[in-house]
Amino acid sequence: MCCLAALLLTTGCQTATSLKKKSKKAAAVNTEPPHGENWNEAGSVSLPTSVGTRNSYSSVNVSLPFIALTFDDGPHPVNTPRLLDILKERNVKATFYVVATNAKAHPEIMRRIIAEGHEIGNHTVTHGDLTKMSNDQVRKELRDSHTAIVSTTGVAPRTMRPPYGAITSSQKSWIRNEFGYPAILWSVDPEDWKRPGSSVVASRLVSGAKPGGILLVHDIHAPTIDAMPSAIDQLLAKGLQFVTVTQLIAMENKG
């Protein structure tokens, strides 16, 4: 009994030592985090790298007819997979600003979003108004959401969208510095959450979309998904092409 305890203790020690060695080795190859202290508890995943030059974007100045279609507040167990089928049929890539509670509830949908070439951004955990929170509360919202996205997909989000579009210029600045995220707003909002009907959502998207535009809809609403085949087909017919938010920002005309 005593020997067994000793053996277990030894084994435990050896495991701890070898883990320590491993983590030391991993630390040696890691580059310094780009912004302040290493807040990312996942540790082994890369921190977000810088995206674009501005603290926020509601559209991007581009020379070619590219737009970004963004879906907020999911993933939803029924509507998001149905949307992914529609996007896949048309080879359209989109960006999903997920709420972390939904991300944790539907990790398989999170992984499908990434596997099919889409992008995921940070839309906080509680979907509260950031302008009414302390910096520490906002920091926790973004960190916890970041961690939930990384732990479900293995991919770090590179942009954030403030719930309701509510964010101060000071918050944009320190969030950019600390997390590397630009705040992504939008140039077209068909107000699909007011449920105006699928054809209205589609026609508002089509009439509002211009090159460099960022289109906002919500994949938690079934009528929004119903609007997508027609909206996407009409936008493609207008000569517009779909890219993710970070791809659109990468096309930004500077100067």
- Tell me the closest approach of the beta carbon of residue 123 to Ni ion, in angstroms: 6
Residue closer to Ni ion, measured from CB, 62 or 94? 94
CB 243 within 8 A of CB 213: no
Residue closer to Ni ion, measured from CB, 74 or 212? 74
Active-site residue list: 72, 218
Q: Using CA atoms, how far apart are residues 162 and 170, in angstroms rounded to an integer?
A: 13
Residue nearest to Ni ion (CB): 72
Encoding tokens for residue 78? 């029924």
Residue closer to Ni ion, measured from CB, 40 or 244? 244
Provide the b/e sequence for 69-92 (b: ≥16 CB within 10 Å): bbbbbbbbeebbbebbeebeeeeb
Binding of Ni ion by 141 (CB under 5 A)? no
State the angle between helix axes of 107-115 and 135-153 in degrees (0 to 180), rounded to the nearest 10: 70
Residue closer to Ni ion, measured from CB, 162 or 212? 162
In the block, tokens 């050896």 appear at: 14
Among 48, 52, 72, 232, which residue interacts with Ni ion (rule: CB under 5 A)?
A: 72
CB count, 10 Å around CB of 118?
20
- Tell me the closest approach of the beta carbon of residue 117 to Ni ion, in angstroms: 23
Q: Using CA atoms, how far apart are residues 115 and 33, in angstroms rounded to an integer?
A: 26
Binding of Ni ion by 75 (CB under 5 A)? no
Within 148-207, which residues bind Ni ion (CB under 5 A)? 163
# residues near Ni ion by CB under 5 A: 3
Please identify, among the stretches 44-52, 72-80, 102-110, 174-182, the one whose residues bind Ni ion according to the rule CB under 5 A.
Answer: 72-80
Encoding tokens for residue 40? 């990312």
- The 37-56 contact track toward Ni ion, x by CB under 5 A, reads --------------------
- Tell me the closest approach of the beta carbon of residue 71 to Ni ion, in angstroms: 10
- Tell me the closest approach of the beta carbon of residue 73 to Ni ion, in angstroms: 4
CB 198 within 8 A of CB 223: yes
Encoding tokens for residue 225? 């998904």
CB 7 within 8 A of CB 15: no
Binding of Ni ion by 73 (CB under 5 A)? yes
Residue closer to Ni ion, measured from CB, 73 or 219? 73
- Tell me the closest approach of the beta carbon of residue 175 to Ni ion, in angstroms: 16
Q: What is the DSSP string of 151-187?
A: HHHS-----B--GGG---HHHHHHHHHHH-PPEE--S
Contacts with Ni ion by CB under 5 A lie at 72-73, 163
